[in-house]
Structure 1
């Protein structure tokens, strides 16, 4: 029987190459898989197989995250996105008859806690742009921070920008 690690690796390859999810998603899922497998190993399931991928075991993992690890509901839900994906993948590929995640109720999603920056911190970031040694880097850093600060772009949106997305004639930027 295949190990859960092998199945998880197959699932990660599937979402990366066939579903085309963002690289950051694959990275996050890989991190949670590693955490889950490490937890399984520490809780009596070394080299875990699908026999360990059951509703009671998944519930224990959820209780571990919320109790012992004191993770926020938002974090627990994030951890289980990947685990639920593996369950669905196993059912779709005939490895399991039913997804063991189905009966598990996730904790109610809590509000995001975002630290806001004050004006002094924003000015310090913009002043940091001037420390670049290459003049073109100064301009690039300033432009990037202005888009983050004043247009509210997310990091991933900023990194996905291409030169053809910037329209100087009407002073607009196409965000994908």
Structure 2
């Protein structure tokens, strides 16, 4: 219906209301995403712009957003996102300014296990990306950037062992 209204230049209150409803679903889905969960855990919240980026990058909402922005000023869209965040139970951590963060809404009852699984899978995926680099431990062959064998790091030595002389605190 949104596509048809935009193509026929019939953007009316009904389409605005549909857009508001879709935006509410978008910010709720964003709160469930592993990407924003990680950011929120690391930083104690997420910025509105990070939520908007998630919506723009999502497969489900990107086309809708492109259509919406042909009929709505970007500042109005930002304002609508803020209103949707409040309706979706995000909590604002500051009053004004560009450094305001939003804490994600609480996980609905019964969904905690799913959220834990999402975080675990996300961390595992991050670990796989890091494993693409040469391993630092273990008996695996070490290669330098040019493909040649890299020297093994020095192991142990007289300076690495604690000595009995260090106990002279008396």
TM exceeds 0.5? no
TM bucket (normalised to shorter chain) is: under 0.3
Larger helix share, 1 or 2: 1
Relative contact order higher in (CA < 8 Å, ≥ 6 apart): 2
Greater Rg by CA: 2
After TM superposition, the score normalised by the length of structure 2 is 0.27
